[in-house]
Homo-oligomer: A and B are copies of this chain.
Amino acid sequence: MGYRICIIGLGLMGASLAGALKRWRGASIAGMDADAGARESAKSLGIIDEAYSEARHAINGADLVIFCVYAHHIPLLIEKNAGFFRPGSLLTDICGVKSGLYAKIEGLLPESSDYVGIHPMAGKERAGFKNADPAIYKNSGFIICPLPASKPENIALMRDMASYIGAARVAVCPPDEHDSVIAYTSDLMHIASAALCVDYHPGMTSAFTAGAFRDCTRVADIDAEAWTELLMDNREFIKDRLDRYISNLSAIRGALEEKDGRKLFGILSHAGKNKREMLKR
């Protein structure tokens, strides 16, 4: 019997991943989703080989179980289905916040299963199975978050998976380091973009907009439910980044108030230099 993958949750990320993993290690893919439409479409489109409405049936016999659901469901799913994980299986998840989740998971893991978290840095403004696209992982970033007990060969397996789905830049780091960096590179960006749209100028029309408006507000039409959970789960790191951001904006405001062009020029030049440095990292 060949390699078996189970994907729990066939939303945007899960269904896209199922499509991107097709034929990796010659695996068969079992998909589970509570939504009959998503699971039947996934099966009939050939994105998955088997469709299940119950997690335990999908998990049964799987070498690799990938949780592509809201983080708060995962500990419960592991606990409820502890007896169904195949000995030697690897469990993973694609959630955007790791420390709190893994603190809960560590005590629940079946002894014979290993866990290595992943975070594919890909997505779309629009969620759900109907927006799935295996190409979202092409040329993307990809973070692997092992637990202290994770086996090296399973970390290597996640690296191989990242490469197979087309990720171009891979990092391996502990969950808390992941959360701290993501608070800046992803969470703060989404907050900054959303806040730009909380109250807009009533006189604006598209004649007044150019690339800066388009790009800075692109992710503001956010999946509010998913992002409320993500931001709440990572709130300690985010509060720190948000405080710095507000303080930097206030410094710009101060330079305008004081008509201090030299100070403003200094801040803008420094930001430009940092932006160029970040592109090299």
Contacts and interface: CB of A to CB of B under 8 A. Distances in A.
A196 B193 CA distance: 11
A192 to B, nearest CB: 6
A196 B245 contact: yes
Contacts of A227: 268
A209 B141 contact: yes
Interface in A78-100: none
A195 B184 CA distance: 12
Q: Can you tell how many copies of this chain the complex includes?
A: 2
Nearest to A220: B275
A76 interface: no
A201 B220 contact: no
A222 B264 contact: no
B218 A200 contact: no
A44 interface: no
Interface residues of A, number: 92
A147 interface: no
Contact of A265 (B122, B228, B271, B279): B228
A111 interface: no
A189 B185 contact: no
A238 interface: yes
Contacts of A231: 252, 256, 264
Interface stretch (A19-27, A49-57, A174-182): A174-182
B272 A143 contact: no
Given A192-B196, A224-B265, A275-B217, A141 B212 contact: no
A250 interface: yes
A210 B123 contact: yes
Nearest to A244: B199
A93 B194 CA distance: 34
Interface of A: 121-123, 140-143, 169-171, 173, 177, 180-186, 188-201, 203-213, 215-222, 224-225, 227-229, 231-232, 235, 238-239, 241-246, 248-253, 256-257, 259, 261, 264-265, 267-272, 274-276, 278-279, 281
13 contacts: A121-B208, A192-B249, A196-B271, A198-B270, A198-B274, A215-B218, A215-B219, A220-B272, A222-B271, A239-B253, A242-B252, A242-B253, A246-B246
